[in-house]
């Protein structure tokens, strides 16, 4: 999904500082299949730093390109955060930071993955975009969570990749998980020599219901408070809503 933004054709409103004019110009094409371009602006007014623009102009006015290696690192760190924080009960819980004072209270899963991937530090330093705010500098501001006031002063700048930038790209495709699943099962019969005598494949549509498998526990019972051993082992009740046998051409 991160690599789906390989669009090499884009415009920018080139700024001519000498005569204070602008002109619509094509941005340099990204490397086919190897770069993804993300812009905070619908129409940037500068090229990116990688395309030779002035570093400050690029950071504050232009887009950014990310290599497939950078996207791969980001993807791995997103998976890491999902494993640490999930399962998420809603999209809001996936996007937002957690309430509290721990590390997950500082930023959401996507932003933590971006920070862990070190995608912002070098370009900000090259552009001299700002400075780091230490915790002790905001300790007297009476923040309930002083660590939330620390960090980079340039956070939120157009050249600083944020989880909002990712959500602009991925948000239309992000949906809560469905509780209806399509699964396939396969079986075969062999003789004593191992020769296959028959094989069959079925496809079932299965729906998960809120009720636990064993009705001894009320539906609202938390997993940690379950009394039934069956519910502890198997969880919620599943219902097969459709079943069909597949022919070999459908597999």
Q: Are residues 85 and 141 in the same domain?
A: yes
pLDDT(101) > 80: no
Residue pLDDT, tens place only, 22-41: 888 888 878 776 788 888 88
Q: Are residues 127 and 158 in the same domain?
A: yes
Q: Are residues 85 and 206 in the same domain?
A: no
Q: What is the pLDDT of residue 186?
A: 95
Q: Are residues 96 and 147 in the same domain?
A: yes
Contact present, 87 and 235 (Cβ < 8 Å): no
Q: Which of 135, 151, 176 is the last residue of a domain?
A: 176
Structural domain of residue 22, as residue ranges?
1-176
Q: Are residues 45 and 136 in the same domain?
A: yes
Q: Which of 176, 191, 224 is the last residue of a domain?
A: 176
Q: What is the pLDDT of residue 39?
A: 85
Domain count, the chain: 2
Q: Are residues 204 and 217 in the same domain?
A: yes
Q: Which of 126, 158, 176 is the last residue of a domain?
A: 176
Q: What is the pLDDT of residue 6?
A: 59
pLDDT(139) > 70: yes
Q: Are residues 95 and 10 in the same domain?
A: yes
pTM of the model: 0.68
């Amino acid at each position: 999904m991160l690599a789906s933004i390989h669009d090499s054709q884009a415009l920018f409103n080139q700024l001519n500082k000498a005569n204070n004019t602008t002109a619509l110009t094509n941005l340099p094409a990204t490397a086919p299949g190897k770069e993804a371009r993300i812009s905070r602006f619908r129409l940037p007014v500068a090229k990116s730093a990688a395309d030779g623009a002035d570093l400050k102009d690029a950071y504050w006015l232009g887009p950014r390109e990310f290599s497939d290696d950078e996207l791969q690192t980001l993807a791995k760190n997103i998976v890491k955060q999902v494993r640490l924080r999930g399962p998420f009960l809603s999209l809001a819980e996936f996007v937002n930071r957690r309430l509290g004072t721990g590390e997950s209270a500082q930023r959401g899963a996507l932003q933590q993955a971006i920070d862990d991937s070190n995608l912002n530090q070098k370009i900000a330093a090259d552009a001299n975009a700002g400075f780091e705010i230490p915790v002790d500098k905001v300790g007297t501001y009476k923040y309930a969570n002083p660590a939330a006031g620390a960090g980079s002063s340039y956070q939120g700048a157009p050249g600083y990749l944020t989880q909002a930038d990712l959500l602009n790209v991925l948000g239309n495709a992000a949906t809560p998980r469905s509780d209806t699943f399509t699964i396939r099962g396969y079986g075969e019969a062999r003789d004593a020599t191992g020769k296959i005598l028959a094989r069959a494949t079925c496809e079932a549509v299965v729906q998960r219901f809120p009720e636990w498998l064993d009705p001894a526990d009320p539906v609202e019972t938390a997993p940690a408070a379950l009394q039934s051993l069956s519910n502890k082992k198997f969880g919620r009740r599943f219902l097969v809503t459709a079943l069909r046998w597949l022919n070999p051409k459908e597999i």
